[in-house]
Amino acid sequence: MKRSHIRLASILSLAVFATVSLGAGSAIAANKKAVKPVTIQFWNYWDGGNGQALNVLIAEFNKKNKDVIVKPVTFPWGDLLPKLQTAIASGTTPAVAATDIAWMANMNQSGKLVDLGAALGGIKKATAGIYPSLLTYGTYKGKIQSLPASTNNLALFYNKDLFRKAGLNPNKPPKTWAEMRTDAMAISALGNGIQGMEIYVQPGEGLTWQFQPYLWQTGAGFLNKTNTAPTFNSAAGKTALQYLVDLINVDHAATAGQWGAFDKGQAGMRIDGSWMVGGYRDNAPFEFGTAMLPIPDGGVHATNMGGEQIMAFKGKPATQAAAVKFIKWFTSAPIQARWDVATNFMPISDTVANSNVLLKHIADEPALKAFINQQKYAYARPAIATYPAVSDAFSKALEPAFYGTVSVTDALANADAAVRKALSGK
């Protein structure tokens, strides 16, 4: 009798347990269905082919990760920093942003960035294999607040068709400043508005970015080691600026203020970034080549390091987690290799550089070799909060020299004074 009661009680207990379990299971399933993915905005300035490549990758991420929806928001390059500064001040920051490396000092000091080192399991794990020079921008007070999303540098593009027409060897681009000047003069002698060399002289970071390699090549530098004072107002700095000014105003091998002639086959040479390789391959109405930047006699190899850093802004835990998840995915070697193939950016690590995907791409795209070869000579722009103001002041002071309205000596003196003022924050 007792056994029967015990057995019946057991059966009833099991039935109750099963009912509760099934109910709990249904509730869990219902909750799972009810959970909505976290939608996050990703602010950036990548447009054109780069923007298209980004959208493809984001669509893939969204498809594979049902718990997160990433929405890219694209601004013009010059608008992104002010937009971010306004968002930081008003507390309306996006979850993720990718910005020019030159702006990272401003972002780091905002107090609004997520500690990616901690979020990704420690600094070693978060930065494993990434080139140390690229980590300088995101390192702040012992924390990693951003990771490299891309990197690039400047090299020389040249029009092989115009080289042939000018009697120059299309397979022998200039290696020195003297050779570049000679080649530019020969090409400009073709007439019909053809420029030997296209030089960017519009005020802003573009002018500074293009001119800094000349300063580094001569040994003039830009700022001192502590980033507290300019170093370019020197004999070496005058040599660098005079070289370009003479190409325009003495040799008449370039035209101040004009930009875009190279794209149309109306200029023999231009300094630009690796991202232009794909566009010229597909659209240029001429055969082009690339080469490492020519250097002055007694000078050294140098180019400008470009690129973007990606960061997450502090916010709700779920939003932060979604942002970190996306950043981890985007900066992973397999995705970075595909990103570089699509955009012709340079690899951020040896793992990316030696991936089969990228090695095949470089073999198929020989114009990238010049950029790969000189990446080790890339200089980093000063990682200071005042850099945007410094760059703007520097470029505005230099611009008149290219038009011949101010002497090289006066232009550099004016730039020196303007940069010192910008550095002081006044």
* 204 and 327 co-located in one domain: no
Is residue 102 very low, low, confident or very high in pLDDT (cuts 50, 70, 90)? confident
* 232 and 318 co-located in one domain: no
* 100 and 213 co-located in one domain: no
Domain assignment present for residue 34? The answer is no
| Whole-number pLDDT of residue 160 | 98
Domain assignment present for residue 9? The answer is no
pLDDT in tens, 108-145: 999 999 999 999 999 999 999 999 889 989 999 999 99
Is residue 8 very low, low, confident or very high in pLDDT (cuts 50, 70, 90)? very low
Domain assignment present for residue 229? The answer is yes
Number of folded domains that form the chain: 2
Q: Does residue 31 register a pLDDT over 70?
A: no
Which pair of tokens denotes residue 22? 């099934």
Is residue 425 very low, low, confident or very high in pLDDT (cuts 50, 70, 90)? confident
* 169 and 291 co-located in one domain: yes
High-pLDDT (> 70) share of the chain, %? 92
Query: Mean pLDDT for the chain?
Result: 91
| Whole-number pLDDT of residue 34 | 55
Domain assignment present for residue 13? The answer is no
Domain assignment present for residue 29? The answer is no
Range of the domain at 225: 154-305+380-424
Rounded (5°) CA angle 204-98-293: 50
pLDDT in tens, 188-239: 999 999 999 999 999 999 999 999 999 999 999 999 999 999 999 999 999 9
* 406 and 278 co-located in one domain: yes
| CATH at 82 | 3.40.190.10
| Whole-number pLDDT of residue 21 | 44
* 92 and 168 co-located in one domain: no
Task: Select the more confidently predicted residue: 397 or 4.
Answer: 397
Which pair of tokens denotes residue 37? 């993915």
* 160 and 290 co-located in one domain: yes
* 331 and 204 co-located in one domain: no
Q: Are 345 and 152 in contact (CB under 8 A)?
A: yes
The model's pTM is 0.81
Domain assignment present for residue 209? The answer is yes
Domain assignment present for residue 90? The answer is yes
- The alpha carbon of 155 is separated from its chain's Cα centroid by a whole number of angstroms, namely 15
* 250 and 166 co-located in one domain: yes
pLDDT in tens, 323-336: 999 999 999 999 99
Domain assignment present for residue 316? The answer is yes
